[in-house]
């Protein structure tokens, strides 16, 4: 039997049908021996990545865990309490998780004082904070961590200003540690395959998705080459029933069809992490309105433009020094979007920081010697 001191529970926004967070999980699983040598890991919510149609009990747990209902919240709370009670180490595994200390995380923090629980954080963002109270709570929390590896420079500055016991280091996004299985499909050289990932962030609705799709269609028509067929894959990378991207993806696909653009919708839930990774890597270019679509494109050398809908998006493109002519704000007009896409399709400029350098930095920061 594994003792409590030798067990680490990895916590994050897993099991919510969201590609980016499940990508974190696969990266951690693949590198767990180097990230946490000597510890047996258990993932809170990790069962939800299993195939529920084949394992009915696990499928029921997965649906309950992802539910926004009172029962779902109670189940997540119970698993969070169980994790800190039975694990000597709690690992925050990726994402924008240190903007406050509330809910399950606050209970875990309080329990850890009695149980001498260790904390680590890998690939997290610190902030932005909605209030001074949130910042103070995160500051007190971070100060007890044994390891903190952040994914962006602004988090590095914030983390170090909190004077934690452990050194705060910059490792970049956890996706840099992901090692996908081999892909055997061959690209069709007679097809220009463009991706368009949507994201249901506040302020981006079906009309916005359709507007972006029309600008995309116009840019495709302007840059079309004889003998090459255009195809757009609309990526719905969050398929949560209440907060997912499916409705936006359908609206974008319909707008493309109205402009006589051959298009289809690809849902993360149908492809899984590896399939989604390989799908994005097969593209000739990507318009991203979701961060981990852009990060995957970057790591697989696919030219991309990312709408900076959150500070974490801006932090990422700042980190890799994305060319200014390929950057987009949420307030960018249709004309600006069109101009960026024409540049993306005709003369894309690679980010200053190469994917190889980004991966090498991650390996140095995350892997414990």
Give the pLDDT confidence of 295-345 residue by residue, as tens digits.
999 999 999 999 999 999 999 999 999 999 999 999 999 999 999 999 999
- List residues bridging with 285 in a β-sheet: 194
The CA distance from 78 to 96, in Å, is: 22
Whether 49 shows a pLDDT value over 60: the answer reads no
CATH topology of domain 4-179: Rossmann fold (3.40.50)
Provide the terminal-to-terminal Cα distance of the chain, rounded to the nearest Å.
27
In the chain, where are the structural domains located?
4-179, 191-352
Question: What CATH code is assigned to 191-352?
Answer: 3.40.50.2000
* Cβ 204 vs Cβ 243: under 8 Å: no
Write the burial class of residue 78 (CB in 10 Å: 0-12 exposed, 13-18 middle, 19+ buried): exposed
Whether 97 shows a pLDDT value over 50: the answer reads yes
Mean pLDDT of the chain: 91
Write the burial class of residue 110 (CB in 10 Å: 0-12 exposed, 13-18 middle, 19+ buried): exposed
What is the value of pTM for the model shown? 0.94
Q: What is the mean pLDDT of residues 74-96?
A: 89
What is residue 47's predicted lDDT score, i.e. its pLDDT? 61
Give the pLDDT confidence of 192-237 residue by residue, as tens digits.
999 999 999 999 999 999 999 999 999 999 999 999 999 999 999 9
The CA distance from 210 to 145, in Å, is: 45
Per the document, the length of the chain is 369
SS (H, E, C) 82-103: HHHHHCCEEEEEEEEEECCCCH
Nearest Cα neighbor of 223 from 345, 349, 348 is 345
Residue 341 gets the label, from left (phi > 0), alpha (psi -120 to 50) or beta, of: alpha
SS (H, E, C) 259-273: CCCCEEEEEHHHHHH
């Amino acid at each position: 039997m594994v003792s409590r001191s030798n067990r680490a529970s990895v916590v994050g926004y897993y099991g919510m049908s969201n590609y980016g967070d499940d990508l974190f999980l696969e990266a951690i699983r693949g590198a767990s021996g180097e990230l946490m040598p000597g510890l047996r890991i258990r993932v809170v919510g990790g069962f939800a990545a299993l195939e529920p149609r084949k394992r009915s009990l696990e499928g029921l747990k997965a649906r309950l865990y992802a539910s926004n209902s009172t029962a779902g919240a109670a189940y997540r709370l119970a698993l969070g309490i169980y994790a800190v009670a039975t694990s000597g180490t709690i690992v925050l595994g990726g994402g924008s998780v240190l903007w406050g200390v509330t809910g399950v995380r606050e209970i875990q923090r309080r329990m850890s004082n009695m149980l001498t629980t260790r904390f680590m954080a890998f690939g997290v963002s610190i902030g932005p904070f909605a209030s001074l109270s949130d910042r103070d709570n995160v500051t007190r929390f971070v100060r007890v961590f044994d390891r903190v590896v952040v994914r962006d420079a602004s988090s590095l500055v914030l983390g170090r200003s909190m004077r934690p016991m452990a050194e705060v280091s910059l490792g970049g996004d956890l996706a840099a540690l992901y090692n996908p299985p081999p892909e055997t499909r061959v690209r069709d050289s007679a097809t220009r395959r463009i991706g368009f990932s949507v994201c249901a962030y506040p302020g981006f609705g079906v009309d916005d998705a359709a507007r972006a799709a029309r600008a995309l269609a116009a840019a495709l028509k302007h840059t079309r080459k004889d003998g090459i067929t255009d195809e757009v894959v609309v990526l719905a990378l969050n398929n949560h029933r209440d907060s997912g991207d499916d409705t936006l993806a359908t609206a974008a696909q319909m707008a493309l069809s109205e402009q006589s653009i051959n298009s289809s919708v690809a849902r993360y839930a149908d492809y899984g992490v590896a399939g989604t990774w390989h799908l994005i890597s097969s593209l000739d270019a990507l318009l991203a309105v979701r961060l981990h679509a852009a990060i995957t494109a970057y790591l697989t050398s696919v030219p991309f433009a990312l709408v900076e809908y959150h500070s974490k998006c801006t932090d990422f493109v700042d980190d890799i020094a994305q060319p200014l002519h390929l950057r987009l704000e949420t307030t960018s007009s249709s004309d600006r979007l069109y101009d960026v896409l024409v540049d993306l399709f005709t003369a894309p400029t690679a980010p200053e920081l190469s994917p190889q350098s980004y991966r090498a930095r991650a390996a140095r920061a995350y892997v414990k010697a």
